[in-house]
Amino acid sequence: MTIIRNEQCRVLLATLVLLSVGWLAAPHAGQDGANDGFILFATDRDNPSALPICPTCEEIYVMSPDGLTPATRLTENNASDNGPVWSHSKKLIAFHSNRNGLPQIFLMNPDGTDQQMLIAGGVPDGGAFPSFSQSGNELCFNTQVRPRKIFVVNIQGTGLTNLTPEADAGDNLRCDWSPKKHRIAFGSSRAGNEEIYVMNADGSDLLRLTNDPADGPTPLPVDANPAWSPKGDRIAFESTRDGNSEVYVMNADGGDPVRLTFFDGQDTKPTWSPKGDRIAFHRRIEGHLEVHTMNADGSDVFRITDTPGVGFSGFPSWGKWSAR
């Protein structure tokens, strides 16, 4: 992977400054801090499909968090590109793509240039839904062949390590690296149903955060897609504990879970704004996904994508450009 060159940095900085001016000039549509950073997301809007998963339709876009300016397309590969995530320290976007067959982890520059597979030859079991460490020097991701495993790797493609090698560990997926500590949150079915766990970045000190089996209901609900807050003190996640999938937030130790969304459908895949004052997520509306944002207490829910026809827009990741 070629890290952004000096001349690219100047061009990209100028481009993002212009975008920021446009976003800040737009009305906030009633959202406090609505233009803080940008939102990466995946969509099939250019080739809408009614299929649950379309292997040739999904591309990655970037948009302003207020949804009032046109989104910019970053990938165009006649493949499925999804799960984008931003590293402000390295000025890189990581994502997964099936352009070479089984989904693998890729890196690219903020404008979509220099797209390269992270690990030469790829991972035999594939890779999906990456998450950067705070330094941006490492990524965690889950494999795609069941039982899925959580791996970490350096952004140079070296040091690939399986953090969940146990034979009875079930499916492990959707990792999220803490912004303040060397801890990784992830979902795991090792206890039967999917629950949220945290572990050190070397796989040690595993701790289950949701639904203590000693006093939980039977059958236990699904808790998934953890997302650390910018301060690392809270975790947003999705849960079926009240019926359908909704977005919740809890303390970093699993305490004090609070339900944020109340929708007769599905609210999933939360991601925090850089300030921690808002959360983006996707909501299933009339059979397809659309990206929404809300305050961190669940108020002021606002839809920011409007995908044509049967298409979807989802899997948001909130980033912030920083010159340092």
Domain ranges across the chain:
6-319
3-state secondary structure 30-46: CCCCCCCCEEEEEECCC
Name the range with the highest mean pLDDT among 118-122, 287-291, 305-309: 118-122
Q: For residue 184, what are the CA distances in angstroms to 39, 172, 206, 216?
A: 22, 12, 10, 24
* Entry pTM: 0.89
Q: Is the pLDDT of residue 177 over 80?
A: yes
CB neighbours (10 Å) of residue 118? 24
Range of lowest pLDDT (17-26, 43-52, 189-198, 289-298): 17-26
pLDDT above 90 covers a percentage of the chain that reads 73
> Given a cut of 50, is residue 8 above it in pLDDT?
no
Structure tokens belonging to residue 118: 């992270």
pLDDT tens, 68-87?
989 999 999 889 999 999 99
Taking domain 6-319, whether its CATH number is 2.40.240.10 is answered by no
Say whether pLDDT at 168 is over 70.
Answer: yes
More confident residue, 38 or 69: 38
Looking at residue 83, its pLDDT comes to 98
Alpha-carbon distance 175 to 182, whole Å? 13
The H or E element that residue 130 is part of is: strand 128-132
